[in-house]
């Protein structure tokens, strides 16, 4: 089972990375699934994923229950509805399938909108910001 979870985690990482450049392939679900697989199969890969330059901050925020940034939510919602619209267009002869696609769309939208929203840019830590400038008139 450990080997299957490790293989699934690696596949999910590959799909998540591909999703960063392919417009209709989602990144976040694959990254979350990879983290779940690695947490159960390989502490080394799990740690690597959480420390990853691009995926790590999202996964750590999610894992710590802090939420998602506004930008991440917006991107997820736009990609979700674009992919659902494309699927509905491809299923043009099947009206019931179009209606069925609304269920995950509405559910995921509801879930994302209820998640905590983090600022897009982390606040400046105390002591690292430049002191305010005094204007001389």
The structural domains of the chain, with segments of one domain joined by +, span: 1-66, 67-120
What SS3 class is residue 118? strand
Tell me the average pLDDT across 7-23. Answer: 87
**Banded model confidence at residue 128, pLDDT cuts 50, 70, 90:** very low
Question: Residue 107: is it exposed, middle or buried by C-beta count within 10 angstroms (0-12/13-18/19+)?
Answer: exposed
Tens digit of each residue's pLDDT (9 = 90 or more) over 68-110: 888 888 888 888 888 888 888 887 777 788 888 888 888 888 9
Tell me the average pLDDT across 33-49. Answer: 95
Give, for 35, the enclosing helix (H) or strand (E). helix 28-41
What SS3 class is residue 117? strand
Token reading at 70: 């506004």
Rounded to two decimals, the pTM is 0.61
Question: Residue 41: is it exposed, middle or buried by C-beta count within 10 angstroms (0-12/13-18/19+)?
Answer: buried
Q: Please say whether the beta carbons of 18 and 54 come within 8 A.
A: no
């Amino acid at each position: 089972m450990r080997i299957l979870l490790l293989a699934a985690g690696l596949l999910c990482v590959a799909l998540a990375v591909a999703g960063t450049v392919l417009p209709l392939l989602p990144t976040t679900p694959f990254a979350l699934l990879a983290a779940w697989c690695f947490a159960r199969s390989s502490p080394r890969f799990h740690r690597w994923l959480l420390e990853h330059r691009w995926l790590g901050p999202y996964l750590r925020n999610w894992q710590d229950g802090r939420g998602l940034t506004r930008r991440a939510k917006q991107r997820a919602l736009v990609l979700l509805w674009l992919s659902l619209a494309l699927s509905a267009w491809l299923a043009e002869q099947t009206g019931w399938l179009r209606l069925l696609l609304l269920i995950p769309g509405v559910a995921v939208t509801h879930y994302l909108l209820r998640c905590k929203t983090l600022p897009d840019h982390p606040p400046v830590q105390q002591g690292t910001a430049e002191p305010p400038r005094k204007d001389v008139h």
